[in-house]
Amino acid sequence: MIPLLKKIFLVDLFQGLWVTFRNQHPKHIYTEQYPIQRPKVAERYRGAPRLNINPDNGETLCISCDLCAKACPENLIVVTSVRNEQTKRKDLTTFTYDTSRCMFCGLCEDACPVDALELTQDFELASYTREGLIWDRQMLEEGPKPTQYKA
Amino acid sequence: MAAEPWDDDLTRALAQQFGNRVERYATYLGQKFLVAEMAAVRDIIEFLKLEAEFDYLVDLTAVDYPNRPKRFEVVYILYSFARNERVRIKCSVAESERPLSVACVHATADWMEREVFDMFGIEFAEHPDLKRLLMPDDWQGFPLRRDVSILAMDNRWVKENLGIESGQ
Amino acid sequence: MAQTFLDSNELVLNMGPQHPSTHGVLRVILKLDGERVNGTECVVGYLHRGVEKIAENRTYQMFAPYVDRMDYVASISNGLGYVLAVEKLINVETTPRAQVVRVILTELNRIASHLLWLGTHALDVGAITPLFYTLREREEILKIFENYCGARLTTHAFRIGGLQYELYEGFEREVIAFCDWFMPKVAEYEELLTNNRIWRDRLVGVGILNAADCKRYGVTGPVLRAAGVKWDIRKALPYSGYEKYEFDIPVGTNADTYDRYLVRMEEMRQSIRIVRQAVGAIPEGPIMAKVPKVLKPPVGEAYVSIEAPKGELGYFIVSDGSINPYRLRVRPPSLINLQALDQMVKGALVADVVAIIGTLDIVLGEIDR
């Protein structure tokens, strides 16, 4: 008798639908509407490299010590500098970072003694050209500017 | 810290069986190894399997020392489930020599020997099917030899097969 | 005799390299007699990147991120094996705190790897639902990894001598929450699959590899344990403080694909058990042992292996006293396990080949290196 009633009132169907609807709760949604809704990556995320600027005087923090270039397994950082006769320090002239070969291992930022080079939370690094992936000092200081889409 | 001599029941049994065909018993960082002459290695591995329950060939690989008179060192790592210990067997092999395959003792040696042949060019005698494992069949040279440059290695193959510059 | 009239030539069928069920770029040449498989030949190497050669041209610290790219679904296990091998070579033991954190992350990674295996294996066999479930749970583990070290897949979480990153605020809470949330999920998978008629029909008695054959082929990991051999490197030759944790080694009896499934499911539960014990006992202290900046291990060699999700993952490193490894050999569990495919597949049906490749849990990045 009970099995028959279960069949008539589609109990199994509703049980199955209950599982479906239970998982529809917004809390369970994993899909991200990507270009409109940007994911929030972790604080320690290793994304686009950035060459930090001293916020007080707008000068670069980099002391051209070349440690990042030596630590890089892929040998993709090139730092050049000139010696400043007045301050007896090295002044950074160019800094190139080839993101096309980068594997974002974070060894360069570990090596940096002054926290000038940092891997940031920017993750949109695509480019239409190979040359566009080789970042110069200006690009590293400004960071990538991905197109923002509105809903 | 240097390698220390290794002396226990197993080495005594081996010494009795193989005499001076085993040149040295030692431990380094707590890991036991023995250095044997090339022709004896298969017998030693068979002996260890049958008499001392070393029934699992963990790894088989080679190291290249271009400056030594016998250029290669083939390394066998054995493990015994019953004794719960590992033993490494090493033997020197010259470029023209052909060590005996141990695939008939441990079936797992089949691909490992193929890989060693692929990477170092050491030919194993009596191997069932010795050919390249990882590299393309028409590859020239042996990549893991120390005198092969990592930069110049694939230029020719890339140019011939893909028709582009390798960009190295 | 019917045979004399019919053409009884063997049919050669190429499976792969671009075949979804080979989990990458594996090519299997099947020799078929009708639906029966007479023999196989595996062609590997499509993903060969020369990791061992790269190692000879990098310093010890520089090489660490490359090992993540071998078994990319269990990159933390790869990293652990590598740092342990180098630490053995320079005779340094990491700090107690770093050890415990390493264990937590490695066990979470084992769960992540088994989850991906379960989802894709079920997908191969014909069940689509588990893939969505397992990827959902794996996502939570990857989030913990991302919060901890900033990367989800190729983590580069460990450094030689310890850890680079201190635990973040709320790490313990998140891991415990994951454990609590995850345990019912394993029961959910079991509900979906364990007594499922189709699942059982496809797996029970398929791809039998008994203990003697396992040892002959050097097969390790869950495949060996499903054959009834109670052997796990975490117990047999403990590393990284595994002797302090209580856990069981699940073993199977029938050595078939179904038992391997059961073993892996139980392993996930045991991993949760280890994680719980470890999270409750993270000691305070430094996370990095004293390791020189320029690493020059003394001349010598060492072989260190760990229990990766797929089996015994070993690193054999030869040092010549310079800053680069003289020779670095990786003993990949997937490659060695794959060698037993021929034995397992012989006499099976074509459709079973897919199930058997799935049950071996291979990752081509590790096979080809």
What ipTM is given for this predicted complex?
A: 0.87
Q: Same domain, yes or no, for B157 and B106? A: no
Q: Same domain, yes or no, for B29 and B107? A: yes
* Residue C27 to residue C235: CA distance in whole angstroms: 35
pLDDT of amino acid A7:
82
Please write the tens of the pLDDT for every residue from A24-58. 888 777 788 888 878 888 888 888 888 888 888 87
Kindly list the partner chains of chain A, i.e. chains with 3 or more CB atom pairs below 8 Å: C
Q: Same domain, yes or no, for B89 and B10? A: yes
Backbone phi and psi for residue C99, each to the nearest 5 degrees, phi listed first: -60, -45
Which residue among B1, B56, B132 places its CB closest to the CB of C218? B56
pLDDT of amino acid C108:
92
* Residue C301 to residue A90: CA distance in whole angstroms: 42
Q: Same domain, yes or no, for B165 and B152? A: yes
pLDDT of amino acid C7:
60
Q: Say how many domains are in chain B.
A: 2
Q: Does residue C303 sit in helix, strand or coil?
A: strand
CATH of the domain at B73: 3.30.460.80
Which among C336, C335, C325, C90 is positioned nearest to B64, based on CA atoms? C325
Nearest CA in chain C to A106: C156
List of chain C residues with pLDDT < 50:
1-2
- Of A64-68, A87-91, B70-74, C157-161, which gets the smallest average pLDDT? A87-91
* Residue C207 to residue C348: CA distance in whole angstroms: 8
Q: B31-36 and B85-93 as β-strands: parallel, antiparallel, unpaired?
A: parallel
Q: Same domain, yes or no, for B95 and B149? A: no
pLDDT of amino acid B141:
81
Question: Is the peptide bond preceding residue C17 cis, with omega within 30 degrees of 0?
Answer: yes
Q: C36-43 and C162-163 as β-strands: parallel, antiparallel, unpaired?
A: unpaired
Provide the β-strand partners of residue C29.
Answer: C14, C41
Helix C257-279 vs helix C96-125: crossing angle, to nearest 10: 150
Q: Does residue B31 sit in helix, strand or coil?
A: strand
Q: Same domain, yes or no, for B129 and B165? A: no
Helix C171-193 vs helix C257-279: crossing angle, to nearest 10: 160
Please write the tens of the pLDDT for every residue from B102-136. 888 888 888 999 999 988 888 888 888 888 888 88
Contact assignment for C146 to A41 by CB distance below 8 Å = yes
* Residue C337 to residue C217: CA distance in whole angstroms: 7
Maximum distance among all alpha carbons in chain A?
Answer: 99
**Residue B147 token pair:** 């005198």
Mean pLDDT of B131-150: 83
pLDDT of amino acid C274:
92
Q: In what order do the strands lie in the sheet with C311-319?
A: C300-308, C311-319, C327-331
Range of C38's domain? Answer: 2-368
**Residue C278 token pair:** 């470890």
pLDDT of amino acid B152:
73
Q: Same domain, yes or no, for B61 and B77? A: yes
Mutate to test the interface with B, among C235, C303, C322 (most CBs of B within 10 A): C303
Q: For chain B, say whether C228 makes contact (Cβ under 8 Å).
A: no
Q: Are C38 and C351 in contact (CB under 8 A)?
A: no
Residues of C in contact with B151 (CB under 8 A): none
pLDDT of amino acid C315:
92
Nearest CA in chain A to C68: A105
Residues 6+ positions from C324 with CB-CB distance below 8 Å: C55, C56, C57, C58, C59, C60
* Residue C227 to residue A134: CA distance in whole angstroms: 53
Q: Same domain, yes or no, for B168 and B87? A: no
Provide the β-strand partners of residue C46.
Answer: none
Which residue among C147, C156, C165 places its CB closest to the CB of A105? C156
DSSP per position, C323-362: SS-SEEEEE-HHHHHHTTHHHHHTT-BHHHHHHHHHHHT-
Taking residue C169's Cβ as centre, other Cβ atoms within 10 Å add up to 10
Contact assignment for C53 to B75 by CB distance below 8 Å = no
Taking residue C54's Cβ as centre, other Cβ atoms within 10 Å add up to 17
DSSP per position, C109-160: HHHHHHHHHHHHHHHHHT--HHHHHHHHHHHHHHHHHHHHHS-SSS---EET
* Residue A52 to residue A31: CA distance in whole angstroms: 34
Please write the tens of the pLDDT for every residue from C174-218. 899 999 989 888 988 888 888 888 888 888 888 888 888 888 898
Average pLDDT of chain B is: 85
Which residue among C48, C331, C339 places its CB closest to the CB of B59? C331
* CA dihedral (A12, A16, A19, A25) positive or negative: negative
Q: Say how many domains are in chain C.
A: 1
**Residue A130 token pair:** 């190979």
CA angle B111, B115, B120 (to 5 degrees): 150
Q: Residue C195 burial (CB < 10 Å; 0-12/13-18/19+)?
A: exposed
**Which has more pLDDT, A150 or A63?**
A63
Q: Which amino acid belongs to residue A19?
A: V
pLDDT of amino acid B166:
64
Contact assignment for B29 to C53 by CB distance below 8 Å = no
Q: Are B157 and B131 in contact (CB under 8 A)?
A: no
For residue C169, give Cα distances in angstroms to A45, C29, C248: 15, 52, 31
CATH of the domain at C201: 1.10.645.10
Nearest-CA distance from B44 to chain C in Å? 17
Helical spans, DSSP H, in chain A: 2-8, 11-22, 67-71, 107-111, 137-142
Q: Same domain, yes or no, for B93 and B121? A: yes
Q: Same domain, yes or no, for B35 and B48? A: yes
Q: Could you say which DSSP state residue B85 is in? A: E
Residue B76 confidence class, pLDDT cut points 50, 70, 90: very high
Q: B4-5 and B22-28 as β-strands: parallel, antiparallel, unpaired?
A: antiparallel
Nearest-CA distance from C146 to chain A in Å? 6
Which residue among C44, C215, C298 places its CB closest to the CB of B55? C215
Which among C230, B120, A78, C321 is positioned nearest to B130, based on CA atoms? B120
B67 phi-psi bin (left φ>0, alpha ψ -120 to 50, beta other): alpha
Helix C96-125 vs helix C171-193: crossing angle, to nearest 10: 30
Range of B75's domain? Answer: 4-134
Which residue among B29, B110, B112 places its CB closest to the CB of C88? B29
pLDDT of amino acid C83:
92
Residues 6+ positions from B150 with CB-CB distance below 8 Å: C50, C53, C54, C56, C57
Please write the tens of the pLDDT for every residue from B18-58. 888 888 888 888 888 888 888 888 888 888 888 888 888 99
Q: Same domain, yes or no, for B50 and B99? A: yes
Q: Same domain, yes or no, for B121 and B147? A: no
